[in-house]
């Protein structure tokens, strides 16, 4: 099982994936939401006053792979809205980076929720 941009992970959990390790509780995170499908936690290097990552518990490489599960993709959008409503003014930017050249550095699909005031153009 791998975590590189060329080797796909298999199964529901990749022991080499940092997000799988966060989900398993092996790496601490500041969680702001947790349910049976997703966790959401504060980004360690925020690009906005509110910068939360919404991550499915099940390992999927990127949003194109996640698109095969439209209900889960919709759930991510719903949780993003809830996070923005709770931690900011309810307005937010939702970003999925897909592929290394697009800025994806962890190859476990995750959505960036950016909120908390006027966001700069080009953030993330």
- Each domain of the chain, given as residue ranges in start order, spans 18-115
Please report the sign of the dihedral spanned by the C-alpha atoms of residue 64, residue 70, residue 75, residue 77. Answer: positive
- The active-site residue out of 51, 87, 110, 112 is 110
**Closest to 84 (Cα-Cα) out of 115, 57, 39, 53:** 115
C-alpha span between 47 and 58 (Å, rounded): 26
* Banded model confidence at residue 124, pLDDT cuts 50, 70, 90: low
* pLDDT, tens digit (0-9, with 9 covering 90-100), for 54-111: 999 999 999 999 999 999 999 999 999 999 999 999 999 999 999 999 999 999 999 9
DSSP 89-123: SS-EEEE---SGGGT--SSS--EEEEESSPPPTT-
Which residue did the predictor score with more confidence, 99 or 11? 99
The two structure tokens encoding residue 10:
């298999």
Distance spanning both ends of the chain, measured CA to CA: 28
Q: Can you give the pLDDT at residue 3?
A: 40
- Assign domain 18-115 to its CATH superfamily: HIT-like (3.30.428.10)
Mark whether 110 is an active-site residue: yes
- Rounded to whole angstroms, the Cα distance separating 109 from 66 reads 7
């Amino acid at each position: 099982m791998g975590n590189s941009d060329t080797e796909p992970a298999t199964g529901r959990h990749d022991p080499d994936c940092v997000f799988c390790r966060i989900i398993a509780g092996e790496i601490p995170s500041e969680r702001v939401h947790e349910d049976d499908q997703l966790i959401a936690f504060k980004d360690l290097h925020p690009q906005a006053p509110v910068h939360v990552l919404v991550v499915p518990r099940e390992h999927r490489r990127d949003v194109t792979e996640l698109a095969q599960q439209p209900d889960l993709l919709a759930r991510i959008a719903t949780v993003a809205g809830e996070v923005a409503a709770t931690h900011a003014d309810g307005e937010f930017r939702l970003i999925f980076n897909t592929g290394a050249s697009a800025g994806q550095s962890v190859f476990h699909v995750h959505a960036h929720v950016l909120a908390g005031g006027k966001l700069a153009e080009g953030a993330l």
